[in-house]
Every structure is written in C-alpha cells, then in structure tokens.
Amino acid sequence: MQKLRVESFTISVDGFGAGPQQSLENPLGIGGTNLHKWFVPTKTFENNVMGKEEGTTGIDNDFAKRGFNNIGAWILGRNMFSPMRGNWSDENWKGWWGDNPPYHVPVFVLTNYPRKSLEMDGGTIFHFVTDGIHSALKKAFESANGKDVRIGGGVNIIQQYLKEKLIDEMHIAISPILLGAGENLFSGINIIDLGYYCAENISTENATHLIIRK
C-alpha cells in the first residue's frame, strides 16, 4: 500500500512550523531557519540538497535519510514553493532551489491560482493543483509509481490532510527553540481523537524525534 507521509517536519517548543513574516529573505519566516539546525549538518542534507559528500551521521541523519526513502512524489503548500501571494505575476519564479531542486520526482503544489507545469533539471516537475487536497493526493499517488507520497508542508497543508485522516505516518522533530509566533502545527487539532499515537520517540542533543502513526 502506498503511504502518505510527513517527514522531517520540524516545530519549535512553542509549536510553530515556521516563524512569522515569510519573505524572500526569510523563506521560513523570522527565526525559522533555526528550526533546522538538527537537519542541515546531516549527510542526507549535504548529499541530497547541497550535492556535497560531507555531513554528519547518527540518529539525526537516520531520520533525515528515512524521509527520502521510497518517495515517488511530493505535495507542497504554495508558500513552501514561493514567497509570492495571489496570482503568479512573476512566472520566472521557479522555487527556492535553483535549476535542479532536491526532489527529482513530481511535486504537486497546492494553490488557488493556476499555472503551467514547470519541468526542472534532475527529474523534478512542479504541477500546480487548484482543485484541492484530495485531487492533489490522487494525482501524487498516480504519478509516484507505487512509491509513497511525502508532504513537505507547511502547517496549513499538513493540518488539512490530518483532519481528513489521510496521513499514514508523520516524523515530527521538535527543535529546542522558541519562535513566539507563526503557524502552530497542533492548534485546533486533536491528534488523539483523529486516531493517531506516538509510535517511537528518541532525543538527540539537537532535536526530539517522534514517529506518529494511525
């Protein structure tokens, strides 16, 4: 069975998956970059995202690595793809990642504003889905060649799929930082009533890792 997975999604101690005021300068909002101090030094990040050979191994890297295993497609909220809001007035914007994004599979971007698909180097193709989360999931499963689908975020998209009980597994990392404001992952969500439980947990000096399953 194909699974819908959230992987390496990181929140602050006060619950925020990104800081406030996302912009071109602060793709993760103010202070948001600090969320990923557990992830950025890992071999997985260095290899898959930066194209380098270096990087740390160990528990943090194990979690980072499993997030890329058996993924055939991604789903992203529009703000994960772009700091712009509203119409795609600047079609030159092709994501935060340059010509060769770290996905290498189809990526379905949820948006209210239609845009033509965008084929990038290295196998990534961005499709813009305007007819909702169920449609995006159907398309993602179909294009994933039997593999799983990973939701990249943000909080709003994860919450939409959670409320429909469509997520099979979530790896959540808690970074020991405070953001003060932003989008709170568990706000308005009763994760227990939705049928989820904490299946695994382990802490490193950089983060607390949880596996949440149905």
**Which residues does residue 129 pair with via DSSP β-bridges, in sequence order?**
110
Least separation, in Å, of the C-beta of 181 and its own copies? 5
In angstroms, the CA 132 to CA 109 distance is: 10
What is the contact surface with its own copies in residues (CB under 8 A)? 13-15, 31, 172, 174, 176-181, 184-187, 189-193, 196-198, 201-205, 207-208, 210, 212
In angstroms, the CA 188 to CA 17 distance is: 14
Question: Beta strands 148-153 and 169-175: pairing type?
Answer: unpaired
In angstroms, the CA 150 to CA 146 distance is: 13
In angstroms, the CA 34 to CA 141 distance is: 32
**Which residues does residue 202 pair with via DSSP β-bridges, in sequence order?**
209
Q: Give the helix, strand, coil percentages of the chain, each rounded to 5.
A: 20, 25, 50
Q: With respect to its own copies, which residue has the nearer C-beta, 15 or 55? A: 15
- 12's enclosing H/E stretch is strand 4-12
In angstroms, the CA 46 to CA 126 distance is: 23
Q: With respect to its own copies, which residue has the nearer C-beta, 50 or 194? A: 194
Least separation, in Å, of the C-beta of 189 and its own copies? 8
Q: Is residue 64 packed enough to be buried (19+ CB in 10 Å), middle (13-18) or exposed (0-12)?
A: buried
Least separation, in Å, of the C-beta of 53 and its own copies? 28
Q: With respect to its own copies, which residue has the nearer C-beta, 166 or 211? A: 211
Q: With respect to its own copies, which residue has the nearer C-beta, 72 or 182? A: 182
Least separation, in Å, of the C-beta of 21 and its own copies? 12
Q: With respect to its own copies, which residue has the nearer C-beta, 136 or 212? A: 212
Least separation, in Å, of the C-beta of 86 and its own copies? 27
Q: With respect to its own copies, which residue has the nearer C-beta, 7 or 137? A: 7
Least separation, in Å, of the C-beta of 4 and its own copies? 19
